[in-house]
Structure 1
Amino acid sequence: MRIPERGRSRDEVMALLERAGASDLPWREGKTFAYVYEGGRDVEDVAKHAYMRYLTENALDPTVYPSLLKFETEIVAMAIAHLRGDKDCVGNFTSGGTESCLLAVKAARDYARKERGIAEPHMVLPVTAHACFQKAAHYFDIGMTLVPINPQTFKVNPYDMEAAIRPETILLVASACQYAHGVIDPIPEIAAIAQRRNLLLHVDGCIGGFLLPYFRRLGAPVTDFDFAVPGVTSISMDFHKYAYAPKGASVVLYRSKALRRHQIFTAATWTGYSVINPTIQSTKSGGPLAATWALLHYLGDEGYLRFAERTLAATRAIADAIRRNPHVRLLAEPESSLIAFTADDFPIFPIVDIMRKRGWFVQPQLGYMGSKANIHLSIDQSTLDLVPQFLPDLEAAIEAARSANLRLPEEMRAMLASLSPETFTPETYRQLMALAGTSDGLPEGTAPINLMLDAMPPEVAGIVMTEFFNDLYVQPREAPAAA
């Protein structure tokens, strides 16, 4: 496929864009329980206006665009105050939670190299910690130990975290809250261990960090997790979730500049301009910064507290309905705005496809690393108005999934369970995709492939997903049709 020989009119291009998005999730309807967060049309309008105003400004060099430096330092200051930091705390704006967590790990690695002389660093994290920490270990060549969690509470035992510490351990990781089940790790106890063992502790507050302080103010029981806890040395928090900023908008915060210094990359040993990168990105649009700053001023603390109250009410209403249903159960008692529920007597995955046909997107989660296959819901303030529609549809979907009772034949389950990374071949992958009905692009339904993935060892499922995405991102077979 080549660049079009001749350009099209603006209207033609806009029409092509609209046609391309015809099959995307209609997230503005409030029926999407993952990936997006709906603040309302007025919030979206403010964010887009601010974003477009600073779209072409480059946040690479704050001396050229002092407005972007103003936005970043003020956003970070608000985040520090929100997470009960003091005057010594510092931080930076990033493109999202993954970048924030990568930077915290990179800073810990370089700090340990300089201050402790550790050449082969290692970190300790619960199996429920976000996968981006495993990405950090992979990218930065850091060893890691994944610590199992309590199968009833889905929280890590602090003593198990301490038992996994080695002489070369540089960092402990905990979540507030963890994504899969919506619970908060015992951070005060883990922080005490970090202090006693002279280790850094990063708290991943990407999805919960902004919302949980509001839940606390609304009377919900919230485990302390922020800079008010001695021993917490860094925190990540996203604004593009419950602060309703456009993606990507996050911050990584440190208790001191002495630690943050190890996050910064500088290169003077080349012939070009001075390279000083506080974050991973170099050239980057000022749009996310401006939009986040604008929304913090537009909604204010009172507006965010109102949104949090609605989110809390919606979460409680949905959790209560799941508790009342005899055929499903909560995996854990939600401590934030995230719910995970499962079934013991029938496969849970068909609920995803049934709900999709009814206009709802709910997220499947595989039964790995001590968790059971489940459905995940990220609940938003806009959900509150739709609870009366959502709950009857969910009840009907549960009943339909029970009736369908879609299961893999035992012979297939045994075959899938026997697969190993060592013997897995491209031909194995092609056979699996044919069995799942995904040999030619995206499947119509997700239940068959999720049932198959759930039956495989996690390491094999990872290979399958890698191959699937490697096939998905290829050159288009033909040019796009004219508008």
Structure 2
Amino acid sequence: MTLPEHGRSTEDLLAEIARLKEADLPVRGGKVTAYVYDTGRPEVHEAAARGYFEMLEVNSLDPTAFPSIVEMEKQVVGAVAELLGGGHGIFTSGGTESIMLAVKAARDAAATRAPEMVVPVTAHPAFHKAAHYLGVKVVAVPVDLETYRVEPSAVEAAITGDTVLVVVSAPSYPQGVVDPVERVAAICAERGVLCHVDACVGGWLLPWLREAGARVPAFDLSVPGVTSISCDLHKFGYAPKGASVVLFRDPALRRKAYFASAAWPGYTIINATVQSSRSAGPLGGAWATMQALGRDGYVELGRRSLEAARRLREGIGAIDGLRVLGEPDSTLVAFGSTEVDVFVLADEARKLGWFLQPQLSYAGIPANIHITVTGATLAGVEAMLEVIAQSAEAARKRGPATLPDGLIDLIAGLDLDALDDATFAELAASVGVDLTSQAQPEMAVVNAVLDGLPADKREAVLLRFLSVIYS
């Protein structure tokens, strides 16, 4: 970008933003089944935007300077605590930061110098990210390949004297199932180990599904042995992005998540989150969304999501060659196939204007398609099923993504650090992947390549993709 010599008008800037967004996936209407959460109620989104804007320039760095953020955060965190069994919380920028703080608190509360964290293979990568940043070793344990829930016996066998935290999910994102929280938490209590429930996706969903009639297992701070829980409000709380809460059973454990420094001559540094200066806009947006919907609004969205997920599971099961993976406890649905290439299916659906999220195979779990069902899905669920059926048939006719012989072995053997970004972009282009285009690409070949690589090589390739895209 070249900085303009003179300032531009608001109208000109908005027109430019509209142009830049032309290739973006739509954030409303239910045709994008990941990344965005839509109530289908424009007035709620308007309230959230107004609340966000009103708090946009308020700096959450110093709550004594802006007492509005203290009162607003206490209300938001209090509502989450009331729904999830109590506790003492922190408002954060998202699930990754909530998880980061939970891991930091567990690490700092422990006596060991070699901290370990036991996580299911289905746990969100944010735990691996937190472990990487905080110097904690990840000990991954398997899940049952029929139910996709973690095995409590595997968790118990993995706990050592250096274990500072055990993680379970409610639900895990990939297949939408709730781990056996009560059994794992009981093991943790007996062994004297902290237990975190990652309810980032389900914390502000499962209670409303329960009120709407679903059978939801116990998973929150009311369960003995659970010591912390994370809950994103920018998912099924339908707040603007940048809104999550982490709750701790004990206020002393919450204090371990804080950071303070007096080792300089400047202003006082005391942070409840990873960030220091941060806009209170997301807090204002979350507060406004929760106030605009209220309990009855969330129950109704839960009811609609539950009905849409039921229809979706039944409809997918009736499509030749497709099957739902596991028995989801939430409104997250994953389906796979042994007859059609799910990566090609996803590309075919995108041609029809729908984004269905591909998931790679891992730890014995096959490659599949993930769908997040929100409050807006019910109105279009039959159309979605028609698209899935058409895309499955088109994928069957096309056949699986084809890769040049030896490509996987070639990439697996490459020293990617020895390639500059331009050379990597040329390598991608040689298999039909243009990393310089702003158009929505076909991804079946890319996903097929990634799916054929071990996890460490997948990560290396993805880092290079990111580097090229932003070059």
User: Normalising TM by the smaller chain, what interval?
Assistant: over 0.9
- Number of equivalences: 466
Superposition pairs for residues 201-216 of structure 1, below 5 Å?
Answer: 201-216=195-210
Superposition pairs for residues 27-106 of structure 1, below 5 Å?
Answer: 27-39=27-39, 40-85=41-86, 89-106=87-104
In structure 1, the partner of 2:406 is: 412
1:458 paired with 2:443, answer no
* 3-state SS of 1:341 partner: strand
In structure 1, the partner of 2:436 is: 441
Q: Could you tell me which amino acid in structure 1 is paired with residue 208 of structure 2? A: Y
Q: Tell me which of 320, 326, 329 is aligned to 2:323.
A: 329
Residues 58-116 of structure 1: per-residue CA shift (max 9 Å, x gap): 1111111111100101111110110022xxx211100000000000000100011xxxx
Contact 1:420–1:457 (Cα < 8 Å) also in 2: no
Using the TM superposition, name which of 298-307 and 322-331 deviates more. Answer: 322-331
Shift of 1:214: 1.2
Using the TM superposition, name which of 442-451 and 92-101 deviates more. Answer: 442-451
Shift of 1:407: 3.8
In structure 2, the partner of 1:394 is: 388
Contact 2:401–2:444 (Cα < 8 Å) also in 1: no
Q: Could you tell me which amino acid in structure 1 is paired with residue 3 of structure 2? A: I
Superposition pairs for residues 44-443 of structure 1, below 5 Å?
Answer: 44-85=45-86, 89-112=87-110, 117-408=111-402, 411-412=405-406, 415=409, 419-420=412-413, 425-426=418-419, 429=424, 432-442=427-437
* 3-state SS of 1:27 partner: coil
Measure the CA separation in 1 of the matches of 2:444 and 2:346.
7
Contact 2:435–2:465 (Cα < 8 Å) also in 1: no
In structure 2, the partner of 1:477 is: none
Measure the CA separation in 2 of the matches of 1:435 and 1:457.
22
In structure 1, the partner of 2:9 is: 9
Using the TM superposition, name which of 426-435 and 207-216 deviates more. Answer: 426-435
Measure the CA separation in 2 of the matches of 1:202 and 1:390.
35
Measure the CA separation in 1 of the matches of 2:77 and 2:463.
36
Residues 112-155 of structure 1: per-residue CA shift (max 9 Å, x gap): 1xxxx211111100010000000011001111111111111111
* 3-state SS of 2:405 partner: helix
For the aligned residues, what is the CA RMSD?
1.7
Measure the CA separation in 2 of the matches of 1:346 and 1:30.
24
Measure the CA separation in 1 of the matches of 2:391 and 2:191.
50
Contact 1:421–1:459 (Cα < 8 Å) also in 2: no
Using the TM superposition, name which of 203-212 and 24-33 deviates more. Answer: 24-33
Measure the CA separation in 2 of the matches of 1:123 and 1:317.
38
Identify unmatched segments of 5+ residues in structure 2: none
Shift of 1:435: 3.8
Measure the CA separation in 1 of the matches of 2:9 and 2:220.
52
Shift of 1:421: 7.4
Change (3 A) 1:73 1:440: closer
Measure the CA separation in 1 of the matches of 2:458 and 2:403.
18
Contact 1:433–1:439 (Cα < 8 Å) also in 2: yes
Deviation >6 Å, runs of 4+: 421-424
Q: TM-score, normalised by structure 1?
A: 0.93
Q: Could you tell me which amino acid in structure 2 is paired with residue 34 of structure 1? A: A
* 3-state SS of 2:277 partner: coil
Contact 2:340–2:392 (Cα < 8 Å) also in 1: no
Change (3 A) 1:162 1:413: farther
Using the TM superposition, name which of 204-213 and 433-442 deviates more. Answer: 433-442
Q: TM-score, normalised by structure 2?
A: 0.95
Contact 1:337–1:380 (Cα < 8 Å) also in 2: yes
* 3-state SS of 2:28 partner: helix
Residues 147-186 of structure 1: per-residue CA shift (max 9 Å, x gap): 1111111111000011111211110000000001100111
Q: Could you tell me which amino acid in structure 2 is paired with residue 436 of structure 1? A: V
Change (3 A) 1:437 1:411: closer
Contact 2:97–2:274 (Cα < 8 Å) also in 1: yes
Contact 1:148–1:370 (Cα < 8 Å) also in 2: no
Q: Could you tell me which amino acid in structure 1 is paired with residue 419 of structure 2? A: P
Identify unmatched segments of 5+ residues in structure 1: 475-483
Measure the CA separation in 1 of the matches of 2:330 and 2:263.
47
Q: Could you tell me which amino acid in structure 2 is paired with residue 206 of structure 1? A: C
Change (3 A) 1:333 1:436: farther
Shift of 1:471: 1.1
Residues 244-290 of structure 1: per-residue CA shift (max 9 Å, x gap): 10011000000011111100100111011001101111111111111
Shift of 1:392: 1.1
Residues 358-385 of structure 1: per-residue CA shift (max 9 Å, x gap): 1111101111222111100011111100
Residues 195-239 of structure 1: per-residue CA shift (max 9 Å, x gap): 011000000000011110111122212111101100000000000
Q: Could you tell me which amino acid in structure 2 is paired with residue 234 of structure 1? A: S
* 3-state SS of 1:107 partner: helix
Shift of 1:388: 2.1
Measure the CA separation in 2 of the matches of 1:414 and 1:252.
41
Contact 2:45–2:289 (Cα < 8 Å) also in 1: no
Change (3 A) 1:272 1:469: same
Shift of 1:414: 6.1
Identity %: 43
